Chain A
Amino acid sequence: MAMHAHEIEEMIQAALPDAFVEITDLAGDGNHYAARVVSESFRGMPRVKQHKAVYDALGGRMGGVLHALQLTTATP
């Protein structure tokens, strides 16, 4: 069971409305993605917390249906 890129993008966007979200399908198999998320809300947050905020946005799918999401977070 895979997730679509736009689903991932919408879920992150819903939780972090100000975020710039860029999803890349790494293998073209709908199963291995890279996500780059840029949000002002990350400012001053340790990296673990930034990534956690994105994982939380995906509501438990990370590590489950979504096996491979290579994540990069940044502030604008």
Chain B
Amino acid sequence: MSVNERIDEIVKGNDVVLFMKGSPLFPQCGFSSKAIAILDHLNVVYESVDVLQDMEIRAGIKDYSDWPTIPQLYVKGEFLGGSDIMMEMYEAGELQAIVDAEGLAKAG
């Protein structure tokens, strides 16, 4: 399986997935940390992929989305943006609207 196919499988197989540096508990970069804080605040169910543990994905994800930086957020198979766009969308209430519309919040 090529790296592109591997990434595609992860992106298509999860409603919300964040490619990041480090783990949600121990983010290894301020931008990844900010992305996690936003997702946690939205109470979203998400998968995360630590690109520092997989050099192939770390390089491949930038080609996959044609986007130069990490973190990268995908919702329902679509690339939504990096941490800056997440913050802009969060502040505009747009992320909450997507979470509500797609039913992505944690139960309870």
Contact = CB atoms under 8 A, between A and B. Distances in A.
Interface of A: 47-48, 51-52, 55, 60, 62-64, 68, 70-72
A68 B85 CA distance: 14
Contacts of B66: 52
Contacts of B31: 68, 70
Interface residues of B, number: 16
Given A62-B68, A68-B30, A47 B81 contact: yes
B67 interface: yes
Contacts, number: 32
Q: Tell me the dominant secondary structure on chain B's binding face.
A: mixed
Given A63-B62, A68-B30, A68-B31, A47 B68 contact: no
A48 B79 contact: yes
A12 B82 CA distance: 19
B10 interface: no
A63 B68 contact: yes
A63 B84 CA distance: 14
A47 B89 contact: yes
A55 B84 CA distance: 13
